[in-house]
Chain A
Amino acid sequence: GQQVMQIPQYQHVQEGEDFTTYCNSSTTLSNIQWYKQRPGGHPVFLIQLVKSGEVKKQKRLTFQFGEAKKNSSLHITATQTTDVGTYFCATERGYQKVTFGTGTKLQVIP
């Protein structure tokens, strides 16, 4: 099936800098979820967005769902070393068929 693409694939930032990852689909998405996977760990759910143009915040993290529901972004303000990991968007391609985007690996340099 069609995979949701994320850019960039990798990002190195200095601690304190901001970071953004983008999730893009050629088809309309019913919803978008974001997960974080620490090195050696398992994916952990961060948030779900459902409505067109929706914006949600969690402390330093801001999540957006595009107006056309074909893209989404995750923005981290003032990164910390604890933000290190791979960030995946995921979407339901059919009932309970949760499939993951390609992921963005974030490295934070202290």
Chain B
Amino acid sequence: DTEVTQTPKHLVMGMTNKKSLKCEQHMGHRAMYWYKQKAKKPPELMFVYSYEKLSINESVPSRFSPECPNSSLLNLHLHALQPEDSALYLCASSGDGQITEAFFGQGTRLTVV
């Protein structure tokens, strides 16, 4: 199974809502990532988890809160977002080998209203 599964595929939320994005992989990968991608821009790294511990936070606002419950799951909790946070949120995972190929999920298209 070389899939990274993200849910939901689409999400519309108000600025006062709390929601969560979910990501799952069963490839035994120990590194998991959250990226944000705005239209016509490259994916922008947000967080990296390595062996279930947060190893990189790219100065992301606290209204985004990542969580790694176990080695297969990665969540992104959203609270009090702004309309400018609307974007495609991509989850990815990679293994420990010499080739650090990142496998991406299909993404969650988030709209903040």
Could you tell me which A residues sit within 8 Å of B by CB distance?
31, 33, 35, 41-45, 48, 50, 88, 90, 92, 94-103, 105
Q: Can you name 7 A-B pairs with beta carbons within 8 Å?
A: A42-B90, A45-B101, A95-B55, A96-B48, A96-B100, A100-B44, A105-B40
- Cβ of A11 to closest chain B Cβ, rounded Å: 14
For the A-B complex, the count of residue pairs with Cβ-Cβ distances under 8 Å equals 55
Interface residues in B89-107 by Cβ distance below 8 A to A read 90, 92, 94, 98-107
> Which secondary structure dominates where chain A touches chain B?
strand
Closest to B99 in A: A48
Contact A42 B56, CB 8 Å, known A48-B100, A96-B31:
no
- Contact partner of A103 (CB less than 8 A), chosen from B31, B42, B103, is B42
Interface residues in B60-95 by Cβ distance below 8 A to A read 90, 92, 94
Given contacts A98-B94, A105-B40, 19 further A-B contacts (CB under 8 A): A33-B100, A42-B105, A42-B106, A43-B43, A43-B102, A43-B104, A44-B104, A48-B99, A88-B42, A88-B43, A90-B102, A92-B100, A94-B56, A96-B33, A96-B94, A97-B45, A100-B43, A102-B42, A103-B41
Closest to A3 in B: B42
Cα distance A48–B100 when bound, in Å?
Answer: 8
Closest to B48 in A: A96
Q: Are A45 and B102 within 8 A (Cβ)?
A: yes
- Cβ of B84 to closest chain A Cβ, rounded Å: 20
Q: Are A98 and B42 within 8 A (Cβ)?
A: no
Closest to B45 in A: A99
Q: Are A33 and B43 within 8 A (Cβ)?
A: no
Q: Are A97 and B101 within 8 A (Cβ)?
A: no
Contact A33 B101, CB 8 Å, known A43-B43, A43-B90, A99-B45:
yes
- Contact partner of A96 (CB less than 8 A), chosen from B56, B90, B101, is B56
Is B111 part of the contact surface with A, judged by Cβ < 8 Å? Answer: no
Contact A96 B50, CB 8 Å, known A48-B100, A103-B42:
yes
Which 6 pairs from chain A and chain B are nearest by CB? A100-B42, A42-B104, A45-B101, A48-B99, A43-B104, A103-B42
